[in-house]
A = this chain, B = another copy of it.
């Protein structure tokens, strides 16, 4: 019975996510659902990405947090439109929460919407919100056993950003093992090792975003 309840919730969510997707398509808006464990660097990645691309792309951000608006404040400081969703306990964003933000944006004037999900390596992977692609961050401080232990998010994502490369010399983590095990789960995964602190590797990520925006407009 528990399974059928969960399935109903997932199915209801997918219908709403599909409606969101239709609206994004009408506006030729490229939409990313950004997911990771708490503290892996989602907001730091956003700050870097906005600084690098805001001259060429019109961006907007939805910040998902259980509580507080700290991340939205960090993004707003960069001068782009941002809406904070407080889930009030819920461990992931869903299609309905995203739909509720639509009045706050002018999608016709935007190229890229990044939805920063709640920090959680498990639950967000199950819920579509209307995105073109899911993008995940794993930090090297979390360890190289994460793909085999939390496979769903690696399976569902189009891009894996392996962050905190600057800390690699100080932790027991093999970048090769992360790559190998992730590609076993998802052979089509794009893997970009990066450091949001030093900026290393971020050009490849920016290039992927530019391509996505271009493809969506075509």
Contact = CB atoms under 8 A, between A and B. Distances in A.
Interface residues of A, number: 36
B68 A149 contact: yes
A39 B152 contact: no
A65 B121 contact: no
A143 interface: yes
Nearest to A126: B89
B123 A91 contact: yes
A4 to B, nearest CB: 11
Of A68, A71, A122, most buried by chain B (CB within 10 Å of CB) is A122
A151 interface: yes
Interface of A: 2, 5, 9, 37-39, 65-68, 70-71, 89, 91, 118-123, 139, 141-143, 145-146, 148-152, 164, 166-167, 170-171
27 contacts: A2-B9, A5-B5, A37-B37, A37-B38, A37-B39, A37-B142, A38-B121, A38-B142, A38-B149, A39-B141, A39-B142, A66-B150, A67-B148, A68-B145, A68-B148, A70-B148, A89-B152, A91-B120, A91-B122, A91-B123, A119-B121, A122-B123, A123-B123, A139-B141, A141-B141, A167-B167, A167-B170
Given A66-B151, A70-B145, A120-B122, 10 more contacts: A39-B139, A39-B142, A66-B122, A67-B149, A68-B148, A119-B121, A119-B150, A120-B120, A120-B123, A167-B171
